[in-house]
Amino acid sequence: MSPRDPAVRPRGGVPGGAEEILAAFREAGVTGQVHAVDVLGGRDLGVGADEDAVLASVFKVPLLVAFARLADAGALDPRERVHVPAEGRSPGPTGISAMLDPVDMSLRDLAFLMITVSDNTAADTLVGRVGLDAVNAAMRELGLRRTHVEHTGQDMYALMTEDVGGLDPAEFFADPAAIARMRVLDPAVTNRGTPREMTRLLELVWRDEAASPESCAMIRRCMGLQVWPHRLASGFPYDDVMVSGKTGTLPTIRNEIGVVEYPDGGTYAVAVFTRSSSTAQTQPRADAVIGVAARLAVEALRRS
Amino acid sequence: MDLVRHLRYFEAVAEELHFGNAAIRLGMAQPPLSQRIQRLERELGVRLFDRTSRQVRLTDAGRALLAEAREILGRVDHLHAVMERARRGEVGTLRAAVTPDLAAPVVAALIAAAPPGVRLALSQIGTVEQVAALTAGELDVGVLHHPVTAPGLAFGPMLAQPVGVLLEEGDPLAASASVHLADLSGRDLVLFPRATAPGLYDEMIAGCRRHGFDPPAVHETPNPQFALGLVLAGTAVSLTPEAPSPGAVWRPLTGEPLHWRASTAWPRDTALAQTGEFAARITAILAREAGMRPVDALPARRVAPRPSSGFLA
């Protein structure tokens, strides 16, 4: 039994999505931006939805869309096999970045690793074929004027290395003074976008409008197979709800964009970008609040 | 040679993989234990263990024997339990249990359906306790709520009851023929204690949240009358299958988003002769008297796979 007094219990009120989301962010020790849109019905909800945000690894979704469009145009072959040598890999804790030996793999499987485990070497190898200019051009063609990709994963690491005086940046990922100097955390300098533009991009993918239907299906498959359960997906602990997504992580930054699909057909694109006030690297609540915020936004859309 | 006793020695050594520890567990000295294992090996004409100075390992023959030995020892234990009941004059008694939510007419019909010549000992206990009692051989047949996993139990056909909401008569929501779960937003919920059926409890809470109802507090009680009291006082709403509830009104949930699944259950390997027939009668009574329907009649439960809980992930 709860000791609560029935007299002070709220009765029958429908909570507004935005205030609840801000309260959840506060409780988790983060500030955040959110945009959620009903892909079929067009209703939307936002918190800081039009402010620039640091994309971090979310930039791999625009990269994948640009890759898909070049494949559609015949400018590259997704089945082409490429050799990824053991030397010169982009740093990262997953996938080929963390492997020891040379790898031969198709471009589309590199894309799969880039999305499902956020493999930085896979991403930068694709950038080598696609080019950052083509990524930005694809975003303009899709009407996304504020999404801009400046850096590869390798570039971001080099920038962080400079900012900590040439040392190993990984040593400073929890250091407040070093983090304050990191330019990769400034959306004016690095890969950026807005929550609204990211949900727009996902909307186009889910409507088969970002590329050919086959390519959009390929993008949806990769995002549906992303392995991480701790952010967006944690907000929807329901067997019958499908969650597809792509995370983004840098010191103090935790992001995820994705699409939540209900068995009744309800389809919601959600983008959540957060910054934690603590510099601790392991913050399960800061990860989980991404799911909480997404759930509050989606539930508000489903109620309206 | 007392084969059963030797199999018990063997089982202990096979589980400990250490003669000293097995001897301690059996409350005997190590040398006689080693001799008895050797004797069993001679009797069966196989080596059961590879013994080196540092470790003891089961041979292939030993592994094969362990499965057989466990089955035989389980049967022997069951035989003793049955004879113990016979000694106490309980033979001919069928021990059955139901969960506390079943209405009086259903309970009466179940008792009336006991096989002729059998004394029915019916008790009212929750799902978790039923699983424990069935597994321990203290119960012959139960009616329990799913989902549960219980190695060694067999289940009858799965039945489902749609869950609705119990409201006080004057509640504005009582005016509509059915209620959306999301319309209960902000209300407290009264539900059976999680400890009595954690699988169903978690399914209910997840289902509520999934459909837009995230109760600020959940009051837990095993007693439907107490739950009704909270509803009448306006303290909480109760989510339950339809049942007579004086002073309150029961309304179905729009779209039938929640169900309670139930089935009969009995020990798979040691069921009494009458169990199967009685379980079938119980299933028929639950369908007739308690408004339960075969689960096949419901839309299939969709599962959207996630890599983090995928095959061998």
**Lowest mean pLDDT segment, chosen from A281-290, B110-119, B221-230:** B110-119
Instruction: Place A12 in a pLDDT band, splitting at 50, 70 and 90.
Output: very low
pLDDT of residue A3: 36
- A133 or B81: whose pLDDT is higher? A133
Rg of chain A in Å (alpha carbons):
20
**For chain A, domain boundaries:** 28-303
Instruction: Place B283 in a pLDDT band, splitting at 50, 70 and 90.
Output: very high
Q: What's chain B's average pLDDT?
A: 91
pLDDT of residue B310: 85
Cβ-defined contact of B304 to A237 (cutoff 8 Å): no
Q: Using CA atoms, how far apart are residues A133 and A148, in angstroms rounded to an integer?
A: 9
Give chain B positions within 8 Å (CB) of A233.
Answer: 306, 308
Q: Which two tokens stand for residue A142?
A: 């899709």
Q: Rounded to a whole number, what is the distance in angstroms from the first to the last CA of chain B?
A: 48
Q: Using CA atoms, how far apart are residues A98 and A92, in angstroms rounded to an integer?
A: 6
Q: Closest approach of chain A CAs to the CA of B234, in angstroms?
A: 8
Burial class (CB in 10 A: 0-12, 13-18, 19+), A86: exposed
pLDDT of residue A9: 28
Cβ-defined contact of A303 to B307 (cutoff 8 Å): no
- B149 or A6: whose pLDDT is higher? B149
pLDDT of residue A15: 40
pLDDT of residue A16: 58
Q: Which long-range contacts (CB under 8 A, 24 or more apart) does A22-26 make?
A: A22/A47, A24/A289, A24/A292, A24/A293, A24/A296, A25/A274, A25/A289, A25/A293
Are A107 and A82 in contact by the 8 Å Cβ rule? The answer is yes
Residue B219 identity (one-letter amino acid) = H
Instruction: Place B91 in a pLDDT band, splitting at 50, 70 and 90.
Output: low
Strands (E), A42-121: 44-47, 53-54, 81-84, 103-106
Average pLDDT over residues A53-64: 98
Are A277 and A259 in contact by the 8 Å Cβ rule? The answer is no
Of B188, B234, B304, the CB nearest to A239: B304
Which are the contacts of B35, defined by CB distance < 8 A and separation ≥ 6?
Answer: none
Residue with tokens 């796979």: B305
Cβ-defined contact of B186 to A302 (cutoff 8 Å): no
> Does the pLDDT of residue A207 top 80, yes or no?
yes
Q: What's chain A's average pLDDT?
A: 93
Percent of chain A whose pLDDT exceeds 90: 89
Average pLDDT over residues B99-115: 90
Give chain A positions within 8 Å (CB) of B306.
Answer: 229, 233, 243
> Does the pLDDT of residue A147 top 90, yes or no?
yes
Give chain A positions within 8 Å (CB) of B220.
Answer: 1
Could you tell me which CATH number the domain at A28-303 has? 3.40.710.10
* Residue to test with chain A: of B185, B202, B203, most A Cβ within 10 A: B185
ipTM of the complex: 0.78
pLDDT of residue B270: 74
Burial class (CB in 10 A: 0-12, 13-18, 19+), A27: exposed
pLDDT of residue B272: 73
Are A25 and A31 in contact by the 8 Å Cβ rule? The answer is yes
> Does the pLDDT of residue B82 top 60, yes or no?
yes
Which are the contacts of A73, defined by CB distance < 8 A and separation ≥ 6?
Answer: none
Give chain B positions within 8 Å (CB) of A299.
Answer: 212
> Does the pLDDT of residue B290 top 90, yes or no?
no
Ordered by where they begin, the domains of chain B are 3-87 (1.10.10.10), 92-298 (3.40.190.290)
Are B177 and B251 in contact by the 8 Å Cβ rule? The answer is yes
Q: Using CA atoms, how far apart are residues A232 and B34, in angstroms rounded to an integer?
A: 58
pLDDT of residue A1: 37
Of B185, B206, B304, the CB nearest to A14: B185
Instruction: Place B89 in a pLDDT band, splitting at 50, 70 and 90.
Output: low
Instruction: Place A4 in a pLDDT band, splitting at 50, 70 and 90.
Output: very low
Instruction: Place A14 in a pLDDT band, splitting at 50, 70 and 90.
Output: very low
**Collapsing DSSP states into helix, strand and coil, what is residue A32?**
strand
Q: Using CA atoms, how far apart are residues A55 and A61, in angstroms rounded to an integer?
A: 10
